[in-house]
Chain A
């Protein structure tokens, strides 16, 4: 068992230091790059918080849709293959809901400020 603090706590501490102490003294292109880097650290902490429950729910939906079990990547390959061949489409019960939920869960980690995501969150 690894000791405390958790990865999330460590990354947050680093990101907060960069945000509060370093950003104000940086200029030009490096200031821009630093903000990109802080955003990436924030993304990682969101993933650490949300990935497990999102993956579990996605796996359960895929199992239901495909009638098979397996690793998440293999289930996603199987679904991709079925969509490519036209064996499932937007008329297939549950497919649209699954794609929407999976995509919303990705955006919650990747870009929670993306305008399309915020609009759909209100629906």
Chain B
């Protein structure tokens, strides 16, 4: 059924398109879905991705930038020469597909364990940290006048949000308390420069090929704030997938990441990056607890969500390694 709707939609704006084929749902909860499909064309099929909220799910949840904003950001990134899919079409009411957009499908790998271990990425791995530093700098430098309306975040607000969420669980975690206290005592306050922040720049949201990074995805958590947040988040140990001595995504060094960022004409504040790494580690821990809550309260009673609750202790050991390192 979705192939018929997509076929009608695509025919209206893609010259020569005669339909779509191979539609497959890649991921999705109740409110947001990602589909992969091919646009059928006499000169060869064209790979495309639909990202949408189905009809009836217009409003985006609290932190989300919204699909319209995501489309604008992705297109701006593409136009600025950053690795980003081209946005082909923003859904209109007449498409009867809900809200969202259709973008070019970029081939490559997003699964961290494959990127970190498969031979085909061996040449890419040593250069990725520097490359991603440059990409993050490019995101932070996107022209302010063209950016959509997004929420503004500061470190103080983020600490308060995390604390409220953690307290809402009603389950004591002394290590999280220690991290919250550490963050409050070292809160650097608003950044002297506020920029666009991607907000979820890590494995899973990056398409990697043997030649390096090919696309940045998932702008759902984009906001305005401290640019150092993106550099700290990609260093969180949870995204190293076992390669704990390579802080950037399990493939690279902070030095390379920072060098790539500064080569693009921007400045790194390493203390703020560390601050955001601690914040990010706590944030992922609280997100794991939140998934357990959603399992328990019902909307998503899946085994996967249940066991993710037992991964929050991983962030506790990582917080202790950051805040109270032992000798040896």
Contacts and interface: CB of A to CB of B under 8 A. Distances in A.
Contacts, number: 88
Contact of A77 (B172, B304, B318): B172
Q: Does more than half of chain A's interface fall in helix, strand or loop, or is it mixed?
A: helix
Contact of B314 (A73, A90, A114): A114
Given A90-B324, A107-B317, A39 B172 contact: no
Interface stretch (A5-13, A14-22, A48-56, A115-123): A115-123
A89 B318 contact: no
Interface string B173-194: 1110110110000000000000
A1 B103 CA distance: 63
B317 A104 contact: yes
B313 A110 contact: yes
A41 to B, nearest CB: 10
The prevalent SS among residues of B at the interface is helix
B327 interface: yes
Given A36-B307, A86-B181, A100-B320, A110 B174 contact: no
A73 B177 CA distance: 15
Nearest to A122: B328
A111 B314 contact: yes
B288 to A, nearest CB: 10
Contact of B324 (A79, A100, A114, A119): A100
Interface string B292-328: 0000000000011011001101101110110110111
Interface of A: 33, 36-37, 39-40, 43, 73, 76-77, 79-80, 83-84, 86, 89-90, 96, 99-100, 102-104, 106-107, 110-111, 114-117, 119-120, 122-123
B10 to A, nearest CB: 28
B126 interface: no
Chain B interface size range:
20 to 34
Contacts of A104: 317
Contacts of B310: 43, 110-111
B242 interface: yes
Given A90-B178, A115-B240, A120-B326, 17 more contacts: A40-B307, A80-B172, A80-B177, A89-B178, A89-B181, A96-B324, A103-B320, A107-B317, A110-B313, A111-B310, A111-B311, A111-B313, A116-B244, A116-B321, A119-B244, A123-B326, A123-B328
B237 interface: yes
A110 B314 contact: yes
B321 A84 contact: no
A33 B178 contact: no
B303 A37 contact: yes
B307 A100 contact: no
